[in-house]
Amino acid sequence: MAGPVLEVRGLSVGFADGRRTVPAVHEVAFTLHPGETLALVGESGSGKSVTSLALMRLLPPAPRTRVTGAALLRGRDGTVHDLLALPDAAVRALRGDRIAMIFQEPMTSLNPVHRIGDQIAESVRFHRGLDRHAALKRAEGLIERVGIPDAARRLRAYPHELSGGMRQRVMIAMALACDPAVLIADEPTTALDVTVQSQILALLKGLQRETGMGLVFITHNLGVVAEIADRVMVMYAGRIVESGGVVPVMTAPRMPYTAGLIASVPRLDLKGGEMVSIPGTVPDPRAPPPGCAFAPRCPHRRPTPCDEAVPPLEAAGAGHDVRCRRWAEIAAAAAPRPALEARA
């Protein structure tokens, strides 16, 4: 089957704050193909989690939130459904079946009073209409598939009897219960130990190879991005500021913000180097800067053109987009001494 499994167009989200609406996400658009991994990168408050929750229709309903745009999910029979326009019941039928999500906190994301087998079986029972016995049988297979030993016995375990890594595996088993075409993983490894992190990443990659699902991987960890992603989308203050293939974006970032993020990843191979960080903080969404949202923190800022208006997303290469008015200028100035070589 050719074509994307998920296509997001002009997704904007605003939260009601008294009488006005505070914008959280502006005009996010992307496509996701089967078997592809898209990393959604940004700091806390950049809008990456809100974007994913909006796609899952898990945000509080209107009027507390305002969601506009379209999110076209290809159904099992090839028909296309707009997740943002469907009635609640129709969304529920797709959620957990065609599109699934795993969350950051495995410790609190499982119901403490139900056995994990029942929690995994629950979604198969609802979406596939299996009886409890058949659903538990399937849950056992899923538990095995996500690498939990002694599956038959673990079916009867309660969440508090499992470690964080095991719980995240259970979450993955739960999300994969109905073979979704799209899996959204919202910082699934952030709360885990480093060794467990790479196990979970390897597990996700392996499962993706088996099932051909599209993976939206949300993270603030660029090390993880390099390991797992095909394409990267960097968000800042609710907007996509750079997107493209993982190699061009990571090796030749065009947006100063992306460059700053990459430079601030601690590196062992640069001895004596100072820890680099981006000065300042994310702007208050209730009072955004008039021009580029990153301008107040940007080392390349010029009042003209940076503060004039929000820059558009422009093409900086094949499939490589950037939201910066000065990207070409900056790239040209840096050309004789590319950033990565200069540091070596």
Partner 1 sequence: MARFLVSRLAQSLLLLVLVSVIGFGVLHLAPGGPMAQFALVPGMSQAQLAEIAHAMGLDQPLPLQYWQWFSRLLVGDWGHSYRDAQPVLAVIAARLPATLELMGAAIALAVLTGVTVGVLGAVRRDSAFDVLSTAGAMVALSIPTFWFGLVTIYVFSVKLGWLPAGSRATVGDASLWGYVHHLIAPACVLALVEVAVWSRYMRSAMLDVIDQDFVRTARAKGLPERRVVLHHVLRNAWLPMITLAGLELPTLLGGALVTETVFTWPGMGRLFLDSLGYRDYPVVMGILMVSALLVLIGSLMADLVGAVVDPRVRLD
Residue with smaller CB distance to partner 1, 53 or 282: 53
Q: Provide DSSP, 293-312.
A: TTGGG-TT--HHHHTTSPPP
Cα–Cα distance for residue pair 189/122, rounded to 1 Å: 24
Cα–Cα distance for residue pair 82/169, rounded to 1 Å: 30
Cα–Cα distance for residue pair 155/136, rounded to 1 Å: 8
What is the distance of C-alpha 142 from the center of its chain?
23
Around Cβ 299, how many Cβ atoms within 10 Å?
Answer: 10
Specify burial of residue 306 (Cβ count, 10 A radius: 0-12, 13-18, 19+). buried
- The two structure tokens encoding residue 125: 């029972």
Tell me the closest approach of the beta carbon of residue 13 to partner 1, in angstroms: 16
Tell me the closest approach of the beta carbon of residue 256 to partner 1, in angstroms: 35
Tell me the closest approach of the beta carbon of residue 23 to partner 1, in angstroms: 23
Tell me the closest approach of the beta carbon of residue 122 to partner 1, in angstroms: 6
- The two structure tokens encoding residue 109: 């994301």
Q: Which residues of 96-111 are buried (b: 16+ CB within 10 A; e: fewer)?
A: bbbbbbbbbbbbebbe
Residue with smaller CB distance to partner 1, 171 or 233: 171
Tell me the closest approach of the beta carbon of residue 264 to partner 1, in angstroms: 29
Residue with smaller CB distance to partner 1, 105 or 230: 105
Residue with smaller CB distance to partner 1, 126 or 289: 126
Tell me the closest approach of the beta carbon of residue 88 to partner 1, in angstroms: 8
Cα–Cα distance for residue pair 256/329, rounded to 1 Å: 12
Residue with smaller CB distance to partner 1, 189 or 243: 189
Please report where in the chains the tokens 């390349």 appear, as a residue.
300
Tell me the closest approach of the beta carbon of residue 56 to partner 1, in angstroms: 6
Q: Given the rule CB under 8 A, which residues bind partner 1?
A: 56, 58, 88, 91-97, 100-101, 103, 105, 108-114, 122-123, 126-127, 158, 160, 171, 174-175
Residue with smaller CB distance to partner 1, 123 or 208: 123
Residue with smaller CB distance to partner 1, 38 or 176: 176
